[in-house]
Amino acid sequence: MGACAPRTAPRCRPVPVTGARGRRNVAPPPEVSGNSRRIAMANGPLHGVRVLEFSQIVAAPFLGCILADLGADVVKVERPEGDPHRLWGSVVPGEAKRFQSLNRNKRGIVVDLQQEAGRALVHRLVPAFDIVTMNYRYGLARRLGVDYEQLRELRPDIIYCELTGWGPDGPLASNGSVDPVATAFAGLIAGEGKLDAWGQPATVDCAPLGDLSCALAGAAGVLSALYHRAMTGEGQKVETSLLRSSIALQPYEVMREPVSDAVVRDPMLEDVRRVRERGGGYEEVIAARSAVGSDSAAWRGFHMAYATKDGVVQLGAVTPRTRAGVRELLGITDDPSDDPDFDALDPDSIAYAETRVAHIREAFASQTSAEIIERFTEAGVPVGPVNLPEELSDHPQIEAMGLMAEVEHAVTGLQRVVGPLVTLSKTPTGVRRASPALGADTDTVLREAGLSDEEIGQLRSDRVVA
């Protein structure tokens, strides 16, 4: 039953977040590791919310980090051999840096869900958790007894968030998927238009965009479901996928709008169709996609990276005011691209855009990065250096933001991890602990669930837990 009618819900007293038999779930006091540079953690906005995470690789682990940074008690469940990411590029066996970065701020337990006793144990744990997150391959959660339909029988108000590759329905739903496959299908790789040395697609390797955006979408869904439950007492299932989030990153490209499409999209796809019909390769397809006019002539060159005398900077003049600033700083007096009647599809406009790029490139090459940044910043034009990500942990801006947190890892020692995505003034977010060693918190979590030492010992003897 709801606590109030939906129309008046925002003015109603929230339903407390409760665990089994109506007890309010209160997480144990935060155990903050590290020294003076750690990110402080009082009671975050999700203090008292408990999350049981069935995850591997990137998407669900990153979702767990987001929830943990908001104060939730996140318990990651691993198979006996551990998350495969523990071994990916590891220097310390079982403690790969990638794994550590995506699983900090959590506790960890090992349960063998292939055994009936393991599934029964998880069913015993679930009623004390508010949220379950999941990104196992299609159908595996159901076979292991940890799908939404089975777990909501144990706790009807459970919030269950499932991240999949292709979504729960459709002809591809049961296919395997990982970030490169999903982003390729979604057009993100082709949209970049970059080729490798063999003329094939250059994959986006800097970050798994599908995975990370899927995790962010999942977090938005979970927080929305928590609010709904606070207002009504109802739990629900949250679903998103690598495909859905990858498509959402391209609202302009995927959108259909008949007038614009008739001028730009439809002729381009007709050219692409002809290339494919005559057996043209991927490089020709990308060339055909790029050859058809678009609105890029209006802004080309104004947000590009340029070499300087001593480095590379990124220009970001995306508004009429900042583009006017670029023109004034560089003495560009014949650029009509912000005129109301400028036709970005006119061949002369497209040719002029290339001239503008050459002008800016020449001007930047004659100055140092520091000189350009100082001049353009004073004029209010966004510009900045092109950095390597490995250089940023000690940057003064990163330090001033308090973005790096010091925590102590049980195996690798003192480390600095990237902190929360957001800060809140009343309910501070933060990092409390490093990633867990495999099975580090199994006994503690089972004792919290009411299991005796004898029961835990028997489960260990039977290799149900570790």
Mean pLDDT of 210-215: 97
Look up the pTM and report it. Answer: 0.89
pLDDT of residue 40: 44
Residue 156 — very low, low, confident or very high, per pLDDT cuts 50/70/90?
very high
Domains, the chain, with CATH or none: 6-248+398-461 (3.40.50.10540), 293-386 (3.30.1540.10)
From first CA to last CA, the distance across the chain in angstroms is 40
pLDDT score recorded for residue 25:
43
The pLDDT value given to residue 364:
98
Sign of CA dihedral 134, 138, 140, 143: positive
Task: Write the burial class of residue 181 (CB in 10 Å: 0-12 exposed, 13-18 middle, 19+ buried).
Answer: middle
In tens, the pLDDT along 379-426 reads 999 999 999 999 999 999 999 999 999 999 999 999 999 999 999 999
**pLDDT, position 146:** 98
pLDDT of residue 293: 55
In angstroms, the CA 50 to CA 67 distance is: 9
Per-residue confidence (pLDDT) for residue 178, from 0 to 100: 95
- Please answer whether residues 174 and 144 qualify as being in contact, where contact means their C-beta atoms are separated by less than 8 angstroms: no
β-strand partners of 131: 51, 159
Q: Quote the pLDDT of residue 43.
A: 86
pLDDT in tens, 16-38: 444 443 434 433 434 433 322 34
Nearest to 103 by CA among 437, 446, 443, 441: 437
* pLDDT score at 349: 86
Asked whether the predicted pLDDT for residue 350 surpasses 80, the reply is yes
